């Protein structure tokens, strides 16, 4: 049971990496403690926003444009609808870092971007009520990825190219001896020439076997669906959005296939650091936080249908880690996606498939090295 590459964590990045490696003819094994797509990580909740004029930093844009290309390719190959072009509204103060970076990204990479005043937004989308002085940057070519369908597409294609996927399987031991990766689970033993670790909130528990701990903090986050007037919030009428406000940084989705308006909070004054097993279910305080925001900036009064929790795995600077292990060149790591990583999973999976084959990454990943954290320098 020897493989070219073993991937621990078959969620967003891992499943994509498995696909690209298997498509190259590599013998690939993916191991996951759950059964992706599932409800216990960071990839569930039906939808994720994909935007290209990027408020987190214009250095991300080349990765996003490559991700866009790769999403289109897998959508075509899988014959599944993975992307909805709803457009995305970026709302906030034009002096904020986030909004400045959205505008800089659009200018630097010649991305389509419509600039609206608060009056224009309030007229164009009557459900919104922006404060005086707020601006909105509308990206008409951006939209929504069906996140669980994306993982399912990669899963099906990986299997079609010969990859093996072992689910509901917990790692009990891991070592690298004379360059060979040796893995034990409660179900069996496996070996491989190389290893990819993309285990989300469980990354450090895996890396501990290899003498490495990354500065990763799992954070509990929540989101909910609200009843929606379809002629107002339906996806052909209403865009996805990110919204910086005095109440916090929120994000949301139009009603897709009658699901209702979806809303979540990206930041949060109180961030509860939890273990993967301690995530508390959506509660009244979570609902109150989201509903207060809706009441302040939306004109349509609505009731919550249901809420869910998910995990952010945060780095100190909220930027990703995509790198090789400091001591083992045949180990690649993807972690710390800090609540804004899913849209990148196509390109991150592709990059991991390049790194593990000894190739230079086709996109610049220099901002995402492990060594930027002083205590972990090689």
The C-alpha atoms of residue 188 and residue 172 are separated, in whole angstroms, by: 10
Give the containing element (helix H, strand E) for 106.
Answer: helix 97-109
Q: 85: how many CB neighbours lie within 10 A of its CB?
A: 14
**Helix (H), strand (E) counts: the chain:** 9, 19
Q: Which two tokens stand for residue 10?
A: 């078959």
The number of C-alpha atoms within 13 Å of 332 and in the hemisphere containing its C-beta is 28
Q: Specify whether the CB–CB gap between 189 and 182 falls below 8 A.
A: yes
Measured torsion, CA atoms of residues 144, 148, 151, 152, in degrees rounded to the nearest 10: -120
How much is the CA Rg of the chain, to the nearest whole Å?
A: 21
3-state class (DSSP) for residue 301: coil
Q: Which two tokens stand for residue 340?
A: 């804004």
Q: Which residues are catalytic?
A: 44, 47-48, 262, 266, 310, 343
The C-alpha atoms of residue 378 and residue 362 are separated, in whole angstroms, by: 23
Query: Which is nearest to 346 in space by CA: 65, 31, 49, 37?
Result: 65
Q: 377: how many CB neighbours lie within 10 A of its CB?
A: 10
Q: Which two tokens stand for residue 24?
A: 């190259």
Q: Which two tokens stand for residue 273?
A: 């650091």
Start-to-end CA span in the chain (Å): 33
Q: What is the DSSP letter of 312?
A: E
The C-alpha atoms of residue 235 and residue 227 are separated, in whole angstroms, by: 14
């Amino acid at each position: 049971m020897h493989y070219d590459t073993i991937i621990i964590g078959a969620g967003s990045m891992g499943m994509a990496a498995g696909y690209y490696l298997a498509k190259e003819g590599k013998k690939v094994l993916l191991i996951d403690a759950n059964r992706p797509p599932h409800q216990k990580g960071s990839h569930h909740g039906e939808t994720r926003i994909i935007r290209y004029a990027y408020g987190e930093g214009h250095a991300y844009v080349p990765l996003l444009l490559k991700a866009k290309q790769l999403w289109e390719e897998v959508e075509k190959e899988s014959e599944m609808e993975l992307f909805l072009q709803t457009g995305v509204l970026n709302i906030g103060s034009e002096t904020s870092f986030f909004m400045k970076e959205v505008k800089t990204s659009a200018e630097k990479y010649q991305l389509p971007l419509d600039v609206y005043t608060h009056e224009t937004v309030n007229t164009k989308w009557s459900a919104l009520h922006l404060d005086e002085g707020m601006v909105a940057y509308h990206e008409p070519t951006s939209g929504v990825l069906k996140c669980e369908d994306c993982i399912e597409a990669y899963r099906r294609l990986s299997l079609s190219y010969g990859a093996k996927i072992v689910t509901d399987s917990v790692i009990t031991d891991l070592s690298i001896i004379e360059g060979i990766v040796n893995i034990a689970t409660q179900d069996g033993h496996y070996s491989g020439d190389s290893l990819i670790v993309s285990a989300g909130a469980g990354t450090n528990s895996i890396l501990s076997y290899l003498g490495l701990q990354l500065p990763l903090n799992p954070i509990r986050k929540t989101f909910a669906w609200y009843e929606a007037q379809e002629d107002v919030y339906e996806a052909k009428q209403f865009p996805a959005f990110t919204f910086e406000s005095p109440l916090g940084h929120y994000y949301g989705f139009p009603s897709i296939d009658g699901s209702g308006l979806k809303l979540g909070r990206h930041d949060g004054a109180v961030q509860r650091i939890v273990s993967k097993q301690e995530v508390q279910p959506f509660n009244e305080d979570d609902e109150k936080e989201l509903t207060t925001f809706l009441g302040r900036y939306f004109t349509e009064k609505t009731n919550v249908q249901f809420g869910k929790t998910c995990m952010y795995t945060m780095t100190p600077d909220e930027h990703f880690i995509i790198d090789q292990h400091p001591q083992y060149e045949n180990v690649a790591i993807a972690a710390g996606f800090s609540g804004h990583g899913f849209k990148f999973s196509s390109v991150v999976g592709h990059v991991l498939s390049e790194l593990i084959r000894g190739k230079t990454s086709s996109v610049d990943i220099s901002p995402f090295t492990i060594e930027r954290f002083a205590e972990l320098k090689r």
